[in-house]
Amino acid sequence: MIEPLSDSPPRHPSKGMAGGIFIAIGLIAGAIIGIAYNQPSAGMMAGFVLGGVVATIIWLLDRRRN
């Protein structure tokens, strides 16, 4: 009979929240808003930063929850 390597129960992968969608939405929305102001690259960068901040906040909240 094979004995388990540890006494603790196996960990199941957590079903974390997906925050990456906010980065994608930020990129697209930022580019569209940037086009309206004749600055598509600046708008895209601003959308990326804003989406990254939201994704990071979601990640931190998810880590705290688990």
Confidence tier at 8 by pLDDT (50, 70, 90): low
Please state, rounded to an integer, the average pLDDT across all residues of the chain.
85
| pTM of the full structure | 0.70
Condensed to tens digits (0 to 9), the pLDDT of residues 22-40 reads: 999 999 999 999 999 999 9
Could you tell me the pLDDT band of residue 64, with boundaries at 50, 70 and 90?
confident
Alpha-carbon span 39 to 55, nearest angstrom = 24
**What element of type H or E holds 3?**
none
pLDDT of residue 4: 62
Provide the H-helix boundaries in 1-39.
Answer: 20-36
